[in-house]
Amino acid sequence: MEDDQQISGEQEHRSESVGLLKRWAFLLLSALVMLFFSEKMYWYVQGYAIVEILILYSFGAYLVFWSIEYFKVDDFWSLFLSAMLYALLIEGIFTALIIAAGLAGPILTFYYFGWHSLLSVVFGWYFLRKWLIEESTMKLLVSSILTGAFWGLWSLGYWLPEIINSPEMQEDPFDPGKWSLERYSGVVLTFGLMLVLAHWLLGKDGFWAFSFRPSKLENLVMFGLIGAMFLLQLVLWNLLAIPFMIMLGLVFYSLRKHKQGIEFHESDSAENGTIAGEEFQTLFGQLAGDIRFKHAFILIVVPIFSIIVYGLALAIDPPEFMIRGLYWTIVSVQTILGGILGIMAIWKNIRRGRIPSSKNQ
């Protein structure tokens, strides 16, 4: 009897260990996808730096996935809220750029919603994954061409003297300015292949998570470190942090209202004898599926078109005013898009959480 209990305990421990390894493999592969769009597309001038960046973005991916599971995220608008948490964590708590901006923080936040939230989480992690499991070759090809062209155009901003001479660019590992096509191609292709492999592996058995339920210890460590960093920023920036805290609270409130709406419809379905509540799936369940390498490899078009655009720019050598105009056009469009989508996500999810007054009586 004691032997049976010992064997059962060992099997349970082994199962927990396997679950931990799978969960963190899923987390780190997803973090690689997100940091590709958040970091490597943003500034190729980092070169091949990756380890410290992966550690940083694993916290961002962890927060996204925890919120998807806890708040029952199941569609575009609720995912955008989770993606907003990702942007607020990276640029508000870790870099403190949003907090340091004070009253201008919300405008800066809209810009990060347009990059980190929309491009990295919603497009890079969600839509690419969705099209890969659906084997939507044309969507993958067209989006890869456009993304690659965008990457190449955005990279030209690091030719501008005001960016080259900015204090941020004087730190390691940054090396702004015109790169040779060979040097640019090496970095871009390396991380393009990383994107291909990360998405492909996420489509293999054992790597995709159908849910994200970390242990209490994992939550304690991850959220403890995030909380400690947040408290440090509050001490350093004091009242300047108020606009950021309002924005963060509003996103969490909207996610809570989304969850309330889901739970209300589940309970209402149960009361009416339907099975709608049993059919509910978060995005983890919706995005489950195999990915063939031939479809994942379409994503190599992203770095290829980036190289083509960058090479053409080297050959044409456009004037600074043209590059500057392009740079600020991209920044403005992303800020407007991030602001519109962020406001709509908050509004739609708060509305979804409204419970009819007859149900409250």
Percentage, residues of the chain above pLDDT 90: 78
Dihedral through CA 325, CA 326, CA 327, CA 332, nearest 10?
Answer: 90
Contacts of 203 (CB under 8 A, 6+ apart): 132, 133, 289, 290, 291, 292, 296
358 pLDDT more than 80: no
Q: Summarize pLDDT for 191-229 with one digit per residue, the tens.
A: 999 999 999 999 998 899 999 999 999 999 999 999 999
The rounded distance, in Å, linking the Cα atoms of 24 and 257 is 29
CB 118 within 8 A of CB 345: no
- Rounded to an integer, the average pLDDT of 262-282 is 67
356 pLDDT more than 70: no
Cβ density class 319-349: b for 16+ within 10 Å, e for less: eeeebbeebeebeeebbebbbebbeebbebb
Q: Please report, for residues 27, 186, 236, 302, the alpha-carbon distance to residue 113 in angstroms, rounded to integers and kept in the order given.
A: 21, 29, 24, 22
Taking phi over 0 as left and psi of -120 to 50 as alpha, with beta for the rest, 47 belongs to: left
82 pLDDT more than 50: yes
282 pLDDT more than 80: yes
pTM score, whole prediction = 0.91
The pLDDT of residue 277: 44
248 pLDDT more than 50: yes
354 pLDDT more than 80: no
280 pLDDT more than 90: no
Q: Summarize pLDDT for 135-191 with one digit per residue, the tens.
A: 999 999 999 999 999 999 999 999 999 999 988 888 878 889 999 999 999 999 999
The pLDDT of residue 264: 81
CB 97 within 8 A of CB 91: yes
Compute the mean pLDDT over every residue in the chain, rounded to the nearest whole number. 90
The pLDDT of residue 2: 52
Of the candidates 285, 254, 232, 239, the residue with the CA atom closest to the CA atom of residue 93: 232
DSSP 251-306: HHHHHHHHHHHHHHHHHHHHHTT--GGGG---HHHHT-----HHHHGGGGHHHHHH
The pLDDT of residue 357: 47
CB 350 within 8 A of CB 257: yes
DSSP 163-199: HHTSGGGGSTT---SPPPHHHHHHHHHHHHHHHHHHH
Give 157-163's long-range contacts (Cβ < 8 A, gap of 24+): 157/323, 157/326, 157/327, 157/330, 158/43, 158/44, 158/45, 159/320, 159/323, 160/320, 160/323, 160/324, 160/327, 161/320
- Rounded to an integer, the average pLDDT of 110-121 is 97
The pLDDT of residue 17: 66
The pLDDT of residue 263: 86
CB atoms within 10 A of CB 247: 19
Q: Summarize pLDDT for 289-309 with one digit per residue, the tens.
A: 999 999 999 999 999 999 999
The pLDDT of residue 19: 83
**Range list of H helices, the chain:** 2-35, 51-70, 76-88, 97-100, 105-112, 128-134, 137-155, 161-164, 181-202, 216-237, 242-271, 283-286, 293-296, 301-316, 320-352, 357-360
The residue written with tokens 């870790």 in the block is 94
Residue 173, preceding peptide bond in cis (omega within 30° of 0): yes
CB 207 within 8 A of CB 287: no
